[in-house]
Structure 1
Amino acid sequence: MICDDDKEIIRPISIYLENEGYQVLKAYNGIEAIDLIRDYVFHLITMDIMVPKMNGITATIKIRQDNMIPLIMLSAKSEDYDKILGLNIGANDYMAKPFNPLELVARVKSQLRRYTTFGSLGVIIYVLQTSGLMIDDEQKVITVDKQEVHLTTSAV
């Protein structure tokens, strides 16, 4: 997920990440980001600090209450205090704007590598999700657009 209110920043980041094979969802404020996390499974978030409705600091604190997925904070604020605050509230990395999109892609890959090798993705994934389809292998539930689909068994 990319959370930033500036579409001129979201657009190129999305293009670079999608060219690397990542699926990207966009949020334009902190409340949208929190709502998306309730509806989708994410493996990484980029979060701008200065987004409307709920700033990135508050959104990150709320995200960290239930999720330990990698989070890269993006901000025009480049003072040491801002970086330290972002990292102390739960960001895994911090990039000051403007930044090179290729460096962001490299940091995304690095965070995902750590997460999949040493973090919670190193365990078996029980929920697979893409677009409106969700398959929860642990609960044995399939949903399409949040509506449960009941399947029958058949002999092969």
Structure 2
Amino acid sequence: MQEKILVVDDEQEISDLLELYLQNENYSVFKFYTAKEALACIETTEIDIAILDIMLPDMSGFTLCQKIRVNHAYPIIMLTAKDQEIDKITGLTLGADDYITKPFRPLEVVARVKAQLRRYKKYNSVQAGTTEESIIVHSGLVLNSSTHECILNEKPLDLTPTEFYILRILLERKGKVVSAEELFREIWKDEYYTKSNNTITVHIRHLREKMGDTVENPQYIKTIWGVGYKIEL
């Protein structure tokens, strides 16, 4: 079955170009130039991944991202015309999974889409084995991979798919240091990681905020400076 991709960008040339390249990869593309049209589509269509421009005529891509996240957990990639850190951080804060700066190479977008879909399918697949095997318990933290639920001290944590997956990796490798590069490649399965890429850093920060954790006195996620992150045994 064809995966359904939502593309929202008011620049027709960019939207058309993305549509062409994605359709060539056998994806079903739902293309819109306004957030209003996109929201109407979301209500009636099961989307697998969304690509949102930040600058839309009727609503910012950030706001659209927030509205999607109310009811949907599928991956969201933000497009930004500005190579500014604040745009990237804002997008990730509001629930986006990745960002691409314009101008971009269409094949890079295709690669990012494939990586996100692979990660999301793995995240959503129910692994073979017993229920006990899909549950990780650690110091008041309960992570259930089958139901995609995370509970901390008997209170549910509202995690994005990427945050959930990062926490799961760290818990599965308790006592071991996992580098930002390892986390990035494990989640996105692509080669676009660079030393200047702070995507993982931002997601770790949000995880800590939601868990009430701190860098200075971490109860869960510990930063090993210059190496990576780990959860102590």
TM-score by length of 2: 0.51
Q: Distance in 2 between matches of 1:52 and 1:98?
A: 19
Structure with more contact order per residue of length (Cα contacts < 8 Å, sep ≥ 6) = 1
Question: Which secondary structure state, in structure 2, belongs to the residue aligned with residue 65 of structure 1?
Answer: helix
**Alignment match, 1:153:** none
Q: Distance in 2 between matches of 1:25 and 1:13?
A: 11
- Specify the code of the residue in structure 1 equivalent to 2:60: N
Q: 2:7 aligns with which of 2, 6, 22?
A: 2
Q: 2:31 aligns with which of 26, 30, 41?
A: 26
- Specify the code of the residue in structure 2 equivalent to 1:98: P
Question: Which secondary structure state, in structure 2, belongs to the residue aligned with residue 17 of structure 1?
Answer: helix
Task: Tell me the C-alpha RMSD between the 2 structures.
Answer: 0.9
Q: Distance in 1 between matches of 2:83 and 2:73?
A: 24
- Specify the code of the residue in structure 1 equivalent to 2:97: N
Q: 1:86 aligns with which of 69, 86, 91?
A: 91
**Alignment match, 1:35:** 40
Q: 2:56 aligns with which of 51, 55, 58?
A: 51
Q: Distance in 2 between matches of 1:10 and 1:27?
A: 8
| Superposed displacement of residue 54, structure 1 | 1.4
1:115 aligns with 2:120: yes
**Alignment match, 2:103:** 98
- Provide structure 2 residue ranges, at least 5 long, that are not aligned to the other structure: 1-5, 127-233
**Alignment match, 1:60:** 65
- Specify the code of the residue in structure 2 equivalent to 1:55: S
**Alignment match, 1:75:** 80
- Specify the code of the residue in structure 2 equivalent to 1:33: A
- Specify the code of the residue in structure 2 equivalent to 1:52: P
Q: Would the aligned equivalents of 1:49 and 1:74 in 2 still touch at CA under 8 Å?
A: yes
- Specify the code of the residue in structure 2 equivalent to 1:102: L
TM-score by length of 1: 0.75
Number of matched pairs: 121
| Superposed displacement of residue 53, structure 1 | 1.0
Q: Larger C-alpha radius of gyration, 1 or 2?
A: 2
Q: Would the aligned equivalents of 1:29 and 1:55 in 2 still touch at CA under 8 Å?
A: no
Q: Would the aligned equivalents of 1:76 and 1:98 in 2 still touch at CA under 8 Å?
A: yes
Question: Which secondary structure state, in structure 2, belongs to the residue aligned with residue 68 of structure 1?
Answer: coil
- Provide structure 1 residue ranges, at least 5 long, that are not aligned to the other structure: 124-156
Q: Distance in 1 between matches of 2:38 and 2:82?
A: 20
Question: Which secondary structure state, in structure 2, belongs to the residue aligned with residue 24 of structure 1?
Answer: strand
Percent identity, please: 47
Q: Would the aligned equivalents of 1:16 and 1:101 in 2 still touch at CA under 8 Å?
A: yes
| Superposed displacement of residue 91, structure 1 | 0.6
Greater than 2 Å deviation, 4+ residue runs: none
